[in-house]
Amino acid sequence: MALAVGIRGLTRSLLRPWVRVPGPARGRTEPAAGGGDGVRCFGSPRVLVEPDPAAGFAVMKMRNPPVNSLSLEFLTELLISLEKLESDKAFHAIILTSDCPGIFSAGLDLMEMCGRDPTHYAEYWKAVQELWLRFYLSHLVVISAINGVNAAGGCLLALSCDYRVLADNPKYAMGLNETLLGIIAPFWFKDTLVNTVGHRTAERALQLGLLFPPAEALQVGMVDKVVPEDQVLSAARSELAQWLAIPGHARQLTKSLMRKPTADRLLKERDADIQNFVRFISRDAIQKALRVYLEKLKQKKT
């Protein structure tokens, strides 16, 4: 099985960096995220980046409709956008949000984990690992402005940020609900949750696959602030000011001090974790459970 799938190689083969943005933003100058004028949005088909270099940050909007499920292509585009912002000295922060109404992210794309071959599973899992590592350890301040429901892998992405603002809508529940699908959140999903909400809350949440509505998410510390829906982005921007006022090197080293031990656990066992995932997801019983879950999602419409 080819485990040595290079995300950078994958990246190059999938898309040219900074393809013109399709859809409404294509080829026109939009007001920048922070209100500045004349700054061109950039991105890729599934990720729209609205830069405000004068204010030192960019808003990264996920737009992989209908539910921002984290497909291999989408993961790759998120990574490219992050890399581009990280390598530009004008940017110190990102606000991560969704362009899909009512949905932050439905988590990992179940179609990537169903009915595919082991090589694909390995490639996909490596990309999931990479996304987590890169967001979790980013030297940029990353704030998520969670404007929709946010399940499993999507919740992991938000938990990897430095601060979370959630829109106050009872439908916008978030959590690591893997057990409801008959699957298991890997140790690094678990560690990220434990680091955020503590061991006892994480233990209960993970076993029961709890999705917390805003008031509860705030109460357990899964998010840092709950605000009216139309204020999620402005609240994230206001919060950013406090983070950007701290000397960058001191904040970055402190972030690394807090997070590196957790990331190192995965880095040390990365290939074993991939093999474990491939073995697990290839089991007939797991494939059946995922198919049943997908079928239920489709049936709820009829």
Catalytic residue of the set 153, 154, 175, 209: 153
The single residue among 5, 60, 108, 142 that binds ligand LOHRUJSQ, judged by CB under 6 A, is 108
The H-or-E segment that residue 219 falls in is helix 214-220
Smaller CB separation from ligand LOHRUJSQ, 169 or 276: 276
Residue of the chain from 25, 41, 103, 210 that contacts ligand LOHRUJSQ (CB under 6 A) = 103
Helix, strand or coil, per DSSP, at residue 156:
helix
CA distance 228 to 219: 16
Burial class for 36, CB neighbours closer than 10 Å (0-12, 13-18, 19+): middle
* Binding letters toward ligand LOHRUJSQ, positions 142-181, x by CB under 6 A: -------x-xxx-----------------------xx--x
Specify whether 216 is catalytic. no
Binding residues for ligand LOHRUJSQ, how many (CB under 6 A)?
Answer: 28
Give backbone dihedrals phi and psi of 30, rounded to 5 degrees, phi first.
-110, 160
User: Is 295 among the catalytic positions?
Assistant: no
Decide: is 249 part of the binding site for ligand LOHRUJSQ (CB under 6 A): no
- Is 108 noted as a catalytic residue in this protein? yes
How many other CB atoms sit within 10 Å of the CB of residue 33?
24
User: Which segment (29-37, 196-204, 251-259, 292-300) binds ligand LOHRUJSQ by CB under 6 A?
Assistant: 292-300
The reply to whether 184 sits near ligand LOHRUJSQ by the rule CB under 6 A is yes
Distance CA 205, CA 156 (A): 13
**Per rule CB under 6 A, is residue 186 in the interface with ligand LOHRUJSQ?**
yes
Other beta carbons less than 10 A from residue 199's beta carbon: 11
Provide the strand spans (E) within 136-190: 141-146, 148-151, 163-167, 174-175
Least distance in Å: CB of 130 to ligand LOHRUJSQ?
15
CA 82 – CA 138 distance, rounded (Å)? 9
Q: Which residues pair with 151 in a beta bridge?
A: 175
Q: Give contact residues for ligand LOHRUJSQ (rule: CB under 6 A).
A: 66-67, 69, 103, 106-111, 149, 151-153, 177-178, 181, 183-184, 186, 276-277, 280-281, 294, 297-298, 301
Active-site residues: which are they?
A: 108, 153, 177-178
